[in-house]
């Protein structure tokens, strides 16, 4: 009875106990709801602020969207309406491609789907989402399943971020890699990589030209096992490779190689390659076939040698021609000059003048050819000197004024007063240009006149640029001829030019000389209306303004010297007569010796004040004779020796002076120049210093 009552009491107490339990559980449920709400707020805050797309989905049945980040909503083009959609509905309007954009992807290949269905974590999955409008969005995606306490799959979480910069960089890198690969693979040079053991790690296809083997056959082999060259050349090449590995400095070596019976030459450049730590692990070798280049260089060297030989032959020919022509020409001019002095006022004087003019024309032609040859060979140097500008210009113009007046032409000289009185520059080359221009102007002018004008074109400090203008009223020059007129051997071909002989070298020489003087030459002309030639030259104002007289050769200076005993070494009979007569007329005692051997014999037994030495003589030439005289005992070894030479080239003159001569006079002998040299070399010599006691025969 008590048990039944107890059971009934318990049943009656159950509702009350339930009420008490509810009262006790309520705080815990509130706390739980509070934490759930707080967790959701935190999650929502994270999803709203995170700069990535994030989806939290439910279980495997539909993979419903439980949460999605703000970035994800914006990218997918939706809002809260996306919550609850299945993954299939969410991605329905979108297409998916693999990272290479070569293959479409199914929903089952999306990382979130795989993570939930396959219960695995998916990391760094690259793919392309294609928007409904066709735009491609490259993304990097990660996904993982959400597991319950019993390891059941409750859902999944997926995050992604756009990687357009990374994809673009990868594309650029890939493109560069392909370009570099194409460059290396198609390069005609051999490109190879070697390790510390000189083993090949890589070769491009061109390596077959170096070894005769395909690259795949060479990889792993040592350098000396592949390349076929002499032991000495191989040792040198390996030394260079080892030096680059050791020092880290780029180097090169040239390696002759035997391949298929043919000899080839490769130039190999070797550069170090460093790893991330900066250590040298490999070297890069670039080998280029320079066989043809070396052959061409050899051909060029041979051609250069042949050209130099031809140039020497040309110089020798010109020197020989100069000597052979100047020697008889000297006789003609010398004898003519002597005769003109003896028949002054005679009716034959005009004939002698014609002979002299013809000989001088021939000498002018010869000098033009030699001048141009020297200029082309680069053997003409500037020889600056101080001079009185106005005096030199007037002196230069005087012969042309006389010539013009004889032809019934006017001749004017206009000098700019702004030009300093004393100048410094190469006067002789300046006068040579002016002589060429004035000679042509007078020659090609029938009526009217010729004008020489000088102007100060520019002045900076003591540097002056002068402009020289030679104008005439002559035949003029057609336009189509003007450009070529400064070429070699160029002449006008008309009735006037036929009557005015010349080489056609004067303007070519003038143009080159103007360039040497730091200027240029130009022409303005109309056929029948005359011509104007203008050239410029850079000169320097000389220090000081005091006028100094310029010493000029005097044709009578030979007679101003004290009587001298002169030994003349000359083998040409005409020149013997001319020089002997010239010196004897001036009061000097002259002895002729036709050979070098005879010169030495005469000097050994007689005494002289000086020797005039012909350079080219039979048996012993003048230079060898001079060397032997200089080797004699004093005082004879100090006797003044002046060369008489038909050699007019500068190198010939240097050779003459190096033999021990004190000066030289070129043939044909100009009396004024001859006088100047004799006075210069003998003015300070004491004749008694060379007088020896007479020896008995």
4 and 149 together in one domain: no
Least confident range of 179-188, 446-455, 645-654: 645-654
Are 537 and 409 in the same domain? yes
- Please check the confidence at residue 272 and state whether its pLDDT lies above 90: yes
3-state secondary structure labels for all residues of 208-238 = HHHHCCCHHHHCCCEHHHHCCCCHHHHHHHH
Please give the residue range of the domain that contains residue 643: 557-690
Please check the confidence at residue 467 and state whether its pLDDT lies above 70.
yes
CATH of the domain at 623: 3.40.50.2300
Is 385 within the bounds of a domain?
A: yes
> Is 320 domain-assigned?
no
Q: Answer yes or no: do 429 and 403 share one domain.
A: yes
| Average confidence (pLDDT) over 373-382 | 71
**For position 315, what pLDDT does the model report?**
67
| Structural domain contains residue 318 | no
How far is the C-alpha of 102 from the C-alpha of 587, rounded, in Å?
Answer: 115
What pLDDT, on a 0 to 100 scale, did the predictor assign at position 6?
A: 60
- Distance CA(614)–CA(626), nearest Å, equals 10
What pLDDT score was predicted for residue 2? 53
Same domain, 531 and 665: no
Does one domain contain both 589 and 652? yes
- Which has the minimum average pLDDT: 19-23, 345-349, 409-413? 19-23
pTM value is: 0.47
Give the pLDDT score at 92: 84
**Where is average pLDDT lowest: 275-284, 637-646, 665-674?**
665-674
Per-residue CA distances from 661 to 409, 625, 646 (Å): 47, 10, 15
Q: Which residue has the higher pLDDT, 595 or 495?
A: 595
Q: Specify the pLDDT at position 465.
A: 94
Spell out the residues 6+ positions from residue 202 whose beta carbon is closer than 8 angstroms to its own: 191, 192, 193, 215, 219
Residues 518 and 391 in one domain: yes
Q: Does residue 648 sit within a domain?
A: yes
Q: Averaged over 663-674, what is the pLDDT?
A: 76
Could you tell me which of 378, 502, 493, 387 has the C-alpha nearest to residue 439? Answer: 502
pLDDT grade for 697, boundaries at 50, 70 and 90? very low
Please check whether residues 564 and 535 belong to one and the same domain: no
**What digits encode the pLDDT tens for the residues 217-260?**
889 999 888 888 888 888 999 999 999 999 999 999 998 988 77
Residue written as token pair 């009420």 = 19
Indicate if 26 and 54 belong to the same structural domain: no
Taking the CA of residue 442 as centre, how many other CA atoms within 13 Å lie in the half-sphere pointing to its CB? Answer: 22
Residue 396 phi, psi (nearest 5) = -60, -40
User: Residue 270: what pLDDT?
Assistant: 93
Considering the domain boundaries, does residue 45 fall inside one?
no
Do 524 and 598 fall into the same domain? no
User: What is the per-residue pLDDT for 3?
Assistant: 53
The count of structural domains within the chain is: 5
Say yes or no: 637 and 521 in one domain. Answer: no
Contact by Cβ (8 Å): 270, 191:
no
Instruction: Write down which residue in 142, 169, 196 finishes a domain.
Output: 169
Answer yes or no: is pLDDT of 17 > 80. Answer: no
Looking at the fold, whether 55 and 30 belong to one and the same domain comes out as no
Task: Let me know whether 587 and 675 are in one domain.
Answer: yes
């Amino acid at each position: 009875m008590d048990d039944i009552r107890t059971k009934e009491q318990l049943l009656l107490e159950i509702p009350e106990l339930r009420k008490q339990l509810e009262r006790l559980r309520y705080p815990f449920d509130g706390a739980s709801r509070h934490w759930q709400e707080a967790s959701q707020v935190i999650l929502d805050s994270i999803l709203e602020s995170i700069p990535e797309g994030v989806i939290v989905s439910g279980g495997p049945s539909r993979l419903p969207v439980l949460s999605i980040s703000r970035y994800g909503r914006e990218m997918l083009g939706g809002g809260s309406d996306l919550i609850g959609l299945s993954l299939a509905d969410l991605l329905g309007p979108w297409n998916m491609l693999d990272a290479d954009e070569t293959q479409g992807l199914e929903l089952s290949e999306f990382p979130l789907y795989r993570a939930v269905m396959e219960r695995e974590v998916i990391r760094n999955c690259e793919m392309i989402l294609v928007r409904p409008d066709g735009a491609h969005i490259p993304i990097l995606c990660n996904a993982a399943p959400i597991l319950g306490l019993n390891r059941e799959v409750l859902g999944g979480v997926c995050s992604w971020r756009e990687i357009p910069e990374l994809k673009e960089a990868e594309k650029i890198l890939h493109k560069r890699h392909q370009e570099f690969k194409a460059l290396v693979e198609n390069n005609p040079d051999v490109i190879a990589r070697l390790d510390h053991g000189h083993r090949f790690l890589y070769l491009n296809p061109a390596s077959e030209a170096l070894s005769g083997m395909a690259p795949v056959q060479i990889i792993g082999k040592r350098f000396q096992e592949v390349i076929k060259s002499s032991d000495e050349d191989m040792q040198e090449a390996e030394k260079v490779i080892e030096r680059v590995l050791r020092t880290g400095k780029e180097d090169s070596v040239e390696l002759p190689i035997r391949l298929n019976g043919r000899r080839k030459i490769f130039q190999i450049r070797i550069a170090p390659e460093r790893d991330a730590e900066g250590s040298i692990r490999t070297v890069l070798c670039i080998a280029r076939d320079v066989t043809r280049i070396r052959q061409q260089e050899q051909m060029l060297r041979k051609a250069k040698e042949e050209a130099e030989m031809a140039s020497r032959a040309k110089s020798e020919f010109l020197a020989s021609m100069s000597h052979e022509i100047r020697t008889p020409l000297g006789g003609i001019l010398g004898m003519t000059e002597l005769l003109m002095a003896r028949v002054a006022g005679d009716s034959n004087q005009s004939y002698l003048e014609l002979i002299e003019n013809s000989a001088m024309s021939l000498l002018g032609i010869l000098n033009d050819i030699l001048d141009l040859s020297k200029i082309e060979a680069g053997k003409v140097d500037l020889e600056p000197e101080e001079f009185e500008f106005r005096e030199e210009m007037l002196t230069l113009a005087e012969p042309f004024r006389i010539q013009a007046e004889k032809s019934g032409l006017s001749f004017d000289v206009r000098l700019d007063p702004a030009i300093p009185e004393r100048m410094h520059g190469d006067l002789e080359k300046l006068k040579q240009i002016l002589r060429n221009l004035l000679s042509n102007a007078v020659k090609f002018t029938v009526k009217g006149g010729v004008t020489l004008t000088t102007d100060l074109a520019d002045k900076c400090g003591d540097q002056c640029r002068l402009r020289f203008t030679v104008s005439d009223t002559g035949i003029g020059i057609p336009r189509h001829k003007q450009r070529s007129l400064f070429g070699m051997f160029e002449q006008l071909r008309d009735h006037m030019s036929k009557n005015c002989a010349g080489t056609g070298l004067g303007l070519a020489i003038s143009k080159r000389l103007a360039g040497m003087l730091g200027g240029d030459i130009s022409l303005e002309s109309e056929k029948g209306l005359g011509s104007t030639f203008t050239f410029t030259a850079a000169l320097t104002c000389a220090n000081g303004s005091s006028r100094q007289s310029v010493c000029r050769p005097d044709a009578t200076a030979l007679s101003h010297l004290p009587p001298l005993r002169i030994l003349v070494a000359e083998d040409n009979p005409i020149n013997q007569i001319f020089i002997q007569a010239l010196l004897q007329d001036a009061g000097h005692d002259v002895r002729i010796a036709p050979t070098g051997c005879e010169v030495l014999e005469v000097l050994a037994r007689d005494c002289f004040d000086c020797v005039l030495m012909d350079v080219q003589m039979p048996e012993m030439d003048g230079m060898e004779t001079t060397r032997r005289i200089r080797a004699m005992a004093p005082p004879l070894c100090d006797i003044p020796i002046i060369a008489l030479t038909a050699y007019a080239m500068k190198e010939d003159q240097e050779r003459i002076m190096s033999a021990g001569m004190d000066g030289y006079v070129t043939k044909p002998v100009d009396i004024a120049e001859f006088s100047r040299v004799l006075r210069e070399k003998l003015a300070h010599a004491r004749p008694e210093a060379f007088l020896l006691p007479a020896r008995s025969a």
